[in-house]
Amino acid sequence: MSQSLFEQHKETLETALNAIRTRDYYSPYPESPSPRKYGETADKDGQAAFKAHLNGSFALEMPGITGEAGSEKSPYGFDLGVQYPTVDMDVLLPAMKEAQKAWRDAGIEGRAGICMEILKRINQRSFEIGYAVMHTSGQGFMMAFQAGGPHAQDRGLEAVAYGYDAMTHAPGAATWTKPQGKHDPLVLDKKFTAVGRGVGLVIGCSTFPTWNTYPGMFASLITGNPVVIKPHPAGILPAAISVQIAQNVLKEQGLPPHIVSMVIDSDPAQPCTKELALRPEVKLIDFTGNTQFGDWLEQNCHQAEVYTEKAGVNTIIVDSTDNFKGMIQNLSFTLSLYSGQMCTTPQDIFIPANGIETDQGHKSFDEVAEALSNGITKFLSDPERAGMVLGCIQAEVTDKRVDNARELGAVVRESDRPENPWFKEARMRSPLILAIDSDKEDVYMEELFGPITFLIKTENTAHSVELAHKAVSNHGAITMGCYSTDEATLDQIEEAALDAGVALSSNLTGGVFVNQSAAFSDFHATGANPAANASLSDLAYVANRFRMVQSRKHA
C-alpha cells in the first residue's frame, strides 16, 4: 500500500528534489487561504473543527496512556481547555523502539509515500491548524495560516526530500567486480540498507508550533526513526492534530500508529523534557528554544544527535540607501510582524552617529530613528491591519520584558497596547524602539525576545560592521540585513557575514523581508554561529539520522 502512496506523490517528490538543488521558488502547498485553493467552506469548516477541539479530550493512540492533561490559553484571551493523553515513558519508548523495525522495513519509498501523504492531509487541514496555531502562538490568522500551514508543510517536505536524497545516494544493491589480471575477477553482490538511529525526539516551541516541529519530525521519520513530539506546554494543539493525522495514515498502512507519538507534561510544574531527552531509546533530538536548554541538550544527551535552534541577536547595518521610503516601509513591516517574536526579527540596527546618505539627501541619526518610528506608527494605524500583523504576545514574560526594556535606552517609539478589533482580551504590543550608544554592548548584545529594537549609534559603518560581526560571532544570529549603495561597503559586509556565518539580506525595500525565509531556497540558520547548530534544511540535517548497513557475498 505504501508503495502506491509513493507513486501518488512521486511527482511532488521529484519536483522537491529538483528545488533543493536549484534553490528556485517552489511550494506545492498554496500559501493563500483562498476559497479557490482550499474550497469555498474551508475557512468555516476549519474554524468549526478548531472549535470542536476546545474543552474536550483529544484522542491519540499510544501504548502506556496514564491519564490526561493540558492547560493551553489563547493569547487572544480564552482557555482552550483541551485535554491530551499523558503516557508512561517506560511503556511508550520501548514500544516505539520496537516499532522501528516495521518502519525500517517499510523501505525508503514506503516511508516517503507515507510522509508525503501525512503532509498532504496536514495541508488539507491548514485552516484548522491555522486557528490552532493562532490561538496558541498568538500569531495573526493570516500568518498562523501561512507560516503554521503551507510554509511549515514546505519545510516538512523539504526535510523529506533531503532525507530521500541522502538515503538514495548509495544504491540499495550493487555488484562489485574487481579485475584480477588473467584470472577471473572477484565478484561480490552487496546490499545497502538505510537504518534509522532510534527514536527521534522533537521538542517544540510556543511561537512556531508547526514550522519548527515539522522539519525535525519529517527528517527523522523519512530516515527510519519513530518520532515522539514534546510540544511546548503552551502550544500543544497544532502538534496534536499533526500527530493524529500521522497516526491515521500509519494505521491505514498497517503500521503501528505510535511510530508518531506525543508526550506532554502530566504536571507543567514538573516538565518531563529532560527525562525524555536522556532516554536511551532517543537517538535524535530536535530542539527550538532558549540557549540554556539547547546547550544543556548538546552537552548532556551523549546518546543522541542533537539539532538545536537557540537564541540570537539579529542585526541590520544601515550605511546608505537609494530608496529611503522603501527601506523604512520594509523595516516597519519587519519589526511589526508578530510583534518581533520571530527568531529572524532584527533586534540591533546599527546606524552611524553622523547619519546616512539617501535618495532624500542626508538623514541624521535622529531623522532615521524618527522615520522608522513614524513608519511603524503609520503602518499600524489601521486597527485591523495592526491586529492581523502584530498578532499577540505569546507569553506574559515577553510582555513584561517590553516594559522593563524601556529603561535600557532612549525611547524613540513607545510600545503601546493596541486594541484587537476581534478579541478584546488579546495581549497586544506594538514595537518598542530605543536609541542606544554603541558602548552599551552588555545591553544590546543579549537577546531580548519580543518587540524590542535598538538603534545603535556607531562611529561609522566600519564600526557598525565590526559590532554586527561581534554580535553574530559571540551571541549568534539567524539573520543579518544591510542597506548600502556602495559596492565596496556591501563587499565588506558580505565578508563579515561569511566570516561570522550568518545569512545576509541586502537592500530589501520591496515585498521580501529579512525575517522571512523560503523553504527549498533559503537555508534557515547556518549552524555556523551560536544561534543554531543546524540548518533547515541541508544534507547535514539528515545525513546522520540514519546509518548505512551493508552485507556482501560472492555473486
Stretch that binds its own copies, among 88-96, 143-151, 426-434, 532-540 (CB under 8 A): 532-540
**Measured from the CB of residue 173, what is the shortest distance to its own copies in angstroms?**
9
**Measured from the CB of residue 545, what is the shortest distance to its own copies in angstroms?**
9
d(Cα 473, Cα 480) in Å, to the nearest integer? 12
Does position 49 bind its own copies by CB under 8 A? no
Q: Please name which of 503, 408, 499 lies closest in space to residue 446, comparing C-alpha atoms.
A: 408
User: Going residue by residue from 94 to 133, which x/- string records binding to its own copies, judged by CB under 8 A?
Assistant: -------x--x-----------------------------
End-to-end Cα, the chain, rounded Å: 32
DSSP-based three-state secondary structure for 17: helix
How many residues belong to the site for its own copies (CB under 8 A)? Answer: 67
DSSP summary character for residue 58:
P
Q: Which is nearer to its own copies, 268 or 510 (CB)?
A: 510
3-state helix, strand, coil in the chain (%, to 5): 45, 20, 35
Q: Which is nearer to its own copies, 291 or 544 (CB)?
A: 544
Q: Which is nearer to its own copies, 206 or 505 (CB)?
A: 505
d(Cα 478, Cα 514) in Å, to the nearest integer? 10
Does position 33 bind its own copies by CB under 8 A? no
CB burial of 132-161 (b: ≥16 within 10 Å; e: otherwise) equals bbbbbbbbbbbbbbbbbbbbbbbbbbbbbb
Stretch that binds its own copies, among 124-132, 265-273, 460-468, 535-543 (CB under 8 A): 535-543
Does position 44 bind its own copies by CB under 8 A? no
Does position 441 bind its own copies by CB under 8 A? no
Tell me the Cα Rg of the chain. 24
Are the beta carbons of 314 and 346 closer than 8 angstroms?
Answer: yes
Per-residue HEC secondary structure of 462-516 comes to HHHHHHHHHHHHHHCCCEEEEECCCHHHHHHHHHHHHHHCCEEEECCCCCCCCCC
Does position 18 bind its own copies by CB under 8 A? no
Does position 292 bind its own copies by CB under 8 A? no
User: Going residue by residue from 470 to 489, which x/- string records binding to its own copies, judged by CB under 8 A?
Assistant: --------------------
**Measured from the CB of residue 535, what is the shortest distance to its own copies in angstroms?**
7
Name the amino acid, one letter, at 223. Answer: T
Q: According to CB under 8 A, which one of 197, 457, 469, 475 is a site residue for its own copies?
A: 197
Q: Please name which of 392, 469, 473, 402 lies closest in space to residue 425, comparing C-alpha atoms.
A: 392
Does position 548 bind its own copies by CB under 8 A? yes
List contacts with its own copies (CB under 8 A): 20-25, 101, 104, 165-166, 169-171, 174-180, 186, 188, 190, 192-193, 195, 197, 298-299, 302, 494, 497-499, 501-512, 518, 521-523, 526-528, 535, 538-540, 543-544, 547-554
